Amino acid sequence: MENVLSILFCLSLFYVVVTSRVKAYVTVLRVQGVILAILLMIPFIYHFSIFGIILPATLLLVKVFLIPRYINKVILDLDIKRRIEPTIQQMVFLPIVIASMIIIFLASNILSKSTELDVIPFASGFSAIVIGIYIIMFRKKLIVHVCGFLILENGIFLFGTAVASELPMMIELGTLLDVFVVVFLMGIALNRISNTLEGFEVTDLGRLKD
């Protein structure tokens, strides 16, 4: 089950790479939030615990409802353009991502021979971390950078499920506050920028003066 969900998570990363719509990123964040919540519930199916209800419910509330709704609100309130303007073309970005994921999966398979880990969740999570960094590097819109950070954080969570069964909970509890801070501060920053500039791209920041 974990492998199937990890593959679905991995496919959502490909969708992020090929899409040209900002709201598609928000949809992917919702899908990934649902997948991670299910992954979090699986260990408690055979060993029931109150945490098996509270933690997935918290994850769903934050990742599937609160944060995506807030990002959509920022997009609507600031009238951010719906299409993504990348710094590199899709035909270049996609091969880079595919090559990176192939290397990650091969390296994970080799590592699994000497270390106890689940290859597919491990590689899928690490791929999300790398792709989140790529999104921050190769996309212009600041709101997309926030989505890239959230995808990276989702990758850290999935990465943890392949390392130890208890680790993902500790990672998630420790990073939820960081996610809230980054997203809300970015919303404030975008509102401030909107009062000065017409655009919401990182290239526009070069026009700001101290």
DSSP string covering 142-182, please?
HHHHHHHHHHHHHHHHHHHHTT-SSHHHHHHHHHHHHHHHH
Region of poorest pLDDT, from 26-35, 134-143, 198-207: 198-207
Mean local confidence (pLDDT), 95-104: 93
Interval 31-70: pLDDT, tens: 998 998 888 787 666 666 666 677 778 778 888 888 888 8
At residue 34, φ and ψ (nearest 5 deg) are -65, -45
Max mean pLDDT range (39-43, 106-110, 141-145, 203-207): 106-110
- In the three-class reduction of DSSP (H, G, I as helix; E, B as strand; rest coil), residue 86 is classed as strand
| Tokens encoding 200 | 């919401």
In contact, 161 and 125? CB cutoff 8 Å: yes
| 3-state DSSP percent of the chain in helix, strand and coil, to 5 | 80, 5, 20
2 falls in which pLDDT band (50, 70, 90)? confident
| Tokens encoding 184 | 């809300």
> In this model, does residue 195 exceed pLDDT 50?
no
Cβ-proximal residues to 20 (8 Å cutoff; 6+ apart), any chain: 83, 84, 90
208 falls in which pLDDT band (50, 70, 90)? very low
How far is Cα 19 from Cα 16, in angstroms, rounded to an integer?
5
Q: Which residue has the higher pLDDT, 206 or 68?
A: 68
Region of poorest pLDDT, from 11-20, 26-35, 134-143, 182-191: 182-191
For residue 128, the model assigns a pLDDT of 93
For residue 85, the model assigns a pLDDT of 65
What is the pTM assigned to this prediction?
0.78
How far is Cα 149 from Cα 128, in angstroms, rounded to an integer?
10
